[in-house]
Amino acid sequence: MAKIGIDLNRFILEEERKYPEATGSLSIALMAIESAAKIIASHVRMAGLADILGQAGKVNVQGEEVQKLDELSNEILIRHLSDSGQFYALASEELDEPIFPPQGVDANYVIAFDPLDGSSNIDVNVSIGTIFSIHRRVTGTADDFLQEGYKQVAAGYIIYGSSTMFVLTTGNGVNGFTLDPAVGMFLLSHPDMKIPEKGKIYSINEANAKKWTDPNLVKYIETLKDEGYTTRYIGSMVADVHRTLIKGGMFGYPADRKNTSGKLRLLYEAAPMAFIIEQAGGKATDGKTDILQIKPTDIHQRTPVFLGSKKEINQLLEFIG
C-alpha cells in the first residue's frame, strides 16, 4: 500500500511502474486533471468574493470579466485536457457535442466529465465537485463514449469541501488525496478506501417520494427508518457520495414522474461514482441492472442511481429489483 503523505504525481508514476507495458499516457492524462483541479479549487475558494465583484460591475479588480464558476471550470478542464495531448475526445455536461482536440488526434483515451457538479450549491457555500470518467479509444469516433462503465480505465472526483480532495481509482482500489494549500500538492490522506459493509444513513430527496415511479421504494425507506437509520441529503452528488463512501449507507436518485429516467447522468455522474464505490467494496445499481453493466446509447443520458454499502443495496434490491 502507498505511504500516507505521498503526493498524487508520485503515486501516479509509481502505479505506472507496476505495468512495464505502460506508455505513460494515462499518467500524463491524470496529471492534467490534477492541474485543472487545483486551478478550479482556487477559483471555488474565491466564489463569494467573485460574486460580490461580479454584481458590482461584472469585472473584477484586475479588469477581467467574472464568469460563472461552472462555465469557468469547464473551460479550465477543456484547456488542460486538450493541451495534455492524451485525449482523443472530450465530453462535458456543459457541451452539447463532444470536442475532438487537434492535439489529441493520435491519443489513446476519451474523457467524460461534469466540471462542477452540484452547481446550485455554489451560492450557498456547500461542497461541490468535479467528476470524470476515462475510457480507451476503440473506434476513434464519438461512439467510444458509449462503452459500459466496467470498461473505465480510470475514474474519480475532486470535492471542494472543508478541504479539497481528489479521490481516484484506476481499477486497483480507491485512494484519496487531500490538497495541502501551503504547498499546492495533493497528498495521500485516505489510502485504499473501503466503504463500510453497512452504514446508518440513507440519502435521497424524500420530498419527491409521492412522485417516485416505484412505490416499493417508499416501503424500503420506511424499513430503514424502522431499523433506526438517519437521513442526510446535501443535494450535491459528489458530497453525498463522498459521505456515503466514508460512512456507508445508501445514496439514491430514483426515477420519478418528472424525471422518468432519474436525474443523474450515466456517463459523467453515475458510472464513475459506481466504479469508485464498487472498487471500494460497495454496490451500484439502477434498480435492475448494475450501473457498470449499462451500455450507454447517448452521451447525456440519465439513469436512476442507487449506490452504497452492500447491505443497504442488497436490501433495496429485495424491494425494487
Output 32 or 217, the one with its CB closest to ligand FDP.
217
Closest contact distance (angstroms) between CB of 78 and ligand FDP is: 19
Nearest residue (CB) to ligand FDP, 32 versus 291: 291
Nearer to ligand FDP, 15 or 117 (CB): 117
Of residues 305 and 320, the one with the C-beta less far from ligand FDP? 305
The β-bridge partners of 110 are 89, 135
Shortest distance (Å) from residue 94 CB to ligand FDP: 11
**CA 37, CA 112: separation in Å to the nearest integer?**
15
DSSP 266: I
The CB-of-207 to ligand FDP minimum distance in angstroms stands at 8
Quote the cell numbers at residue 305. 442511481
The phi, psi pair for 244, rounded to 5°, reads -65, -40
Q: Which residues contact 273 (CB under 8 A, 6 or more apart)?
A: 131, 155, 157, 237, 241, 284, 305, 307
**Residue whose grid cell is 459523467:** 268
Gap between the Cα atoms of 218 and 212, Å rounded: 8
In the chain, the N- to C-terminal Cα span, in Å, equals 36
| Gap between the Cα atoms of 39 and 59, Å rounded | 19
* Contact predicate 275/239, CB 8 Å: no
Q: Please identify, using beta-carbon distances, which residue of 104 and 129 lies nearer to ligand FDP.
A: 129
Minimum CB separation from ligand FDP for residue 320, in Å?
19
Torsion 245-205-313-270 (CA) sign = negative
Least separation in angstroms between residue 150's CB and ligand FDP is 22
- Note the residues at the interface with ligand FDP (CB under 6 A): 117-121, 205, 235-237, 240, 253, 263-264, 269
CB of 74 to ligand FDP, least distance (A): 13
Within 10 Å of residue 37's Cβ, how many Cβ atoms? 28
Q: Which residue lies nearer to ligand FDP by CB, 80 or 263?
A: 263
d(CA 300, CA 6): 36
Which residue's entry shows cell 494549500? Answer: 181
Q: How far is the CB of 128 from ligand FDP (least distance, A)?
A: 8
Of 120 and 230, nearer to ligand FDP (C-beta) is 120
